[in-house]
Amino acid sequence: MPGIEKHTTPLDRRKLEALFHAHFPGLVAFARKYVFDEDTAREVVHGVFVNLWERRAEIDASKPMKSYLFTSVHHRCLNEIRNRRKTDTQTDVEGNYFDDGGEFEDHLETIELEERIAKAIAALAPQSRRVFKLNRFEGLTYREISTKLNISQKTVETLMSRTLKTLREKLKDYLITIAWFLIIYLVTIK
C-alpha cells in the first residue's frame, strides 16, 4: 500500500552464520535424501547459503528462516536431479562415462510422488490433516490423539476413515507405485 513503509531486519553476517550453524547438518541430511551423495548434498546446501547471502538485501531476517531454507534446498535438489537427467550420463571417479540406468529418472518419479502425497495431505481439512499426521507421522494411537486434541476416540476414527478414503481417491493413479515402494522399503529394512 502506498505510504506504508515495510520495516525489515536485514540479514547480516552474524545472523547468516547463526543460521548456517543451526541448520547446515539438518539441511545436508535432507538434501542427501534426494541426491544420495554427501558431497552433492553439501554443495546444494552451500549454494543455498551463498544465494541467501547474495540476496541479503531482499531477505527479512526477522522472519523465521527454517522453512525458507528447507524449501530452497528441496528446489535446488530437484534442479540437480533434472540437470543430471538431461545429460543421461554421469562420470565415475576416473572420468569414464556410464549410463545411470534410469536411476535418476526413477528417483525423480519418487520425488514427484512425494510431492503429490504432500499436496493431497495439505488439501485436507485442518483437523483431518492434524489427526492424520499425529497418527501416521508421529505414531500416536487413536486414543492418544483423542486425549491430545480433546475429542472423542470415535471422532478420531471417523476423521481417519474419511481422510484415508479421500487420499485413496486423490492418489488412485499412484496406488500401484505406492504399494511397490512400500514392498521395496519393507524388504530393505529386514
Tell me the pLDDT tens digit for each residue of 64-98.
788 888 888 888 888 888 777 766 454 444 444 44
Q: State the cell numbers at 165.
A: 478414503
Q: Of the segments 22-31, 73-82, 142-151, which one has the largest average pLDDT value?
A: 142-151
70 vs 144: CA distance, rounded Å: 30
Q: Average pLDDT in the 31-43 region?
A: 87
72 vs 47: CA distance, rounded Å: 10
Q: DSSP H helical segments within 88-125, as ranges? A: 103-122
Q: State the cell numbers at 40.
A: 552433492
pLDDT for the residue numbered 155: 94
Angle subtended at Cα 100 by Cα 95 and Cα 101, rounded to the nearest 5 degrees: 145
pLDDT for the residue numbered 19: 86
pLDDT for the residue numbered 190: 45
Q: Average pLDDT in the 9-38 region?
A: 85
Q: Which residue has the higher pLDDT, 176 or 53?
A: 53
Amino acid occupying residue 187: V
Q: Average pLDDT in the 55-63 region?
A: 78
146 vs 58: CA distance, rounded Å: 44
183 vs 19, 50, 178, CA distance in Å? 38, 40, 9
pLDDT for the residue numbered 66: 83
Residue bearing cell 530452497: 72
Q: Average pLDDT in the 101-117 region?
A: 64
Residue bearing cell 547474495: 54
Residues sharing a CB contact under 8 Å with residue 81, sequence separation 6 or more, in sequence order: 34, 35, 104, 107, 108, 111
Contact 181, 188 (CB under 8 A): no
Instruction: Domains for the chain: give ranges and CATH numbers.
Output: 8-87 (1.10.1740.10), 105-190 (1.10.10.10)
Q: State the cell numbers at 14.
A: 552474524
